[in-house]
Amino acid sequence: MGFLPIEHLDLKEYKMSCKYCLVPLFYTFEIISHDYKCKNGKAFFVALVRNVILGDTYTTTLTSGKVDLANIYCVNCHNELGFKYIKTYVDQNSFKQERFMVDCSKVT
- The answer to whether the CB of 102 falls within 8 A of the CB of 46 is yes
Cα(91)–Cα(14) distance, integer angstroms:
33
Q: What is the pLDDT of residue 6?
A: 85
Give all domains of the chain, ordered by start, each with its CATH number: 16-106 (2.170.150.20)
Q: No. of H helices and E strands in the chain? A: 0, 8
Task: Tell me the torsion sign for CA atoms 61, 64, 68, 70.
Answer: negative
Tally of CA atoms within 13 A in the half-sphere of 15 that contains its CB? 19
- Eight-state DSSP code of residue 43: E
Q: What is the pLDDT of residue 1?
A: 54
Cα(100)–Cα(46) distance, integer angstroms:
5
Cα(71)–Cα(53) distance, integer angstroms:
8
For residue 91, which phi and psi values (nearest 5 degrees)?
Answer: -55, -40
pTM to 2 decimal places: 0.91
Per-residue pLDDT of the chain (108 residues; tens, 9 = 90+): 566 788 888 767 889 999 999 999 999 999 999 999 999 999 999 999 999 999 999 999 998 999 999 999 999 999 999 999 999 999 999 999 999 999 999 999
